[in-house]
C-alpha cells in the first residue's frame, strides 16, 4: 500500500507506516489518532477555509513545532504523492516550500487501518 521512499518535487522523502486498531474512513478520523500519538504536544486543528494551502494540524512543544498535512488514500496504493492524493488549492505549493525550507512538516496518509508518516528523514527521526 505504501512505498518506503517517495520523490516529491525533487525531495527524497521516507515513509514510516504502521497498522493500527483504528479505522480511518475519513481524513478527520486521523486527527484524533495523531493527537493521542503526540499527547505531550499542544495540538491545534487549523480550519483552512480561509488559509489556502496551510496544513491541517499545527503542534507545539516548548520551542519546537510540527506541521502536519493529513490525507486519506482513496486508491489501492500510494505511488506518487502529488498524483495519488487529493490536494486542495495551495497545498502542493505549501508542501513543496516546506520541504525546500526544511520546515518541520509531515504528510500523514491513512487508508483503512494503516497510517503512514511521510517526510524528510531528519524530521521523521526527530519527531517519531
pLDDT 10s digits, 7-61:
999 999 999 999 899 889 888 889 999 999 999 999 999 876 556 789 999 999 9
CA distance to 25, 27, 34, 110, 113, per residue, from 120 (Å): 27, 22, 18, 18, 23
- Give the confidence band of 74 by pLDDT, cuts at 50, 70, 90: very high
What's the pLDDT at 52? 76
Sequence-distant (≥ 6) Cβ neighbours of residue 71 within 8 angstroms:
27, 85, 86, 107, 108, 109, 110
What's the pLDDT at 50? 58
Please name the CATH architecture into which domain 5-127 falls: 3-Layer(aba) Sandwich (3.40)
83: phi then psi, degrees, rounded to nearest 5: -105, -35
What's the pLDDT at 126? 93
Amino acid at each position: 500500500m505504501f512505498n518506503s521512499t517517495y520523490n516529491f518535487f525533487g525531495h527524497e522523502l521516507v515513509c514510516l507506516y504502521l497498522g493500527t486498531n483504528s479505522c480511518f474512513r475519513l481524513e478527520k478520523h486521523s486527527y484524533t489518532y495523531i493527537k493521542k500519538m503526540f499527547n505531550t504536544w499542544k495540538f491545534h486543528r487549523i480550519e483552512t477555509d480561509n488559509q489556502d494551502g496551510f496544513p491541517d494540524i499545527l503542534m507545539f512543544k516548548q520551542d519546537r513545532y510540527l506541521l502536519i498535512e493529513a490525507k486519506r488514500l482513496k486508491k489501492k496504493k500510494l505511488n506518487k504523492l502529488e498524483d495519488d492524493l487529493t490536494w486542495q488549492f495551495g497545498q502542493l505549493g505549501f508542501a513543496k516550500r516546506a520541504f525546500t525550507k526544511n520546515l518541520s512538516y509531515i504528510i500523514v496518509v491513512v487508508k483503512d487501518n494503516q497510517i503512514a508518516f511521510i517526510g524528510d528523514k531528519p524530521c521523521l527521526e526527530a519527531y517519531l
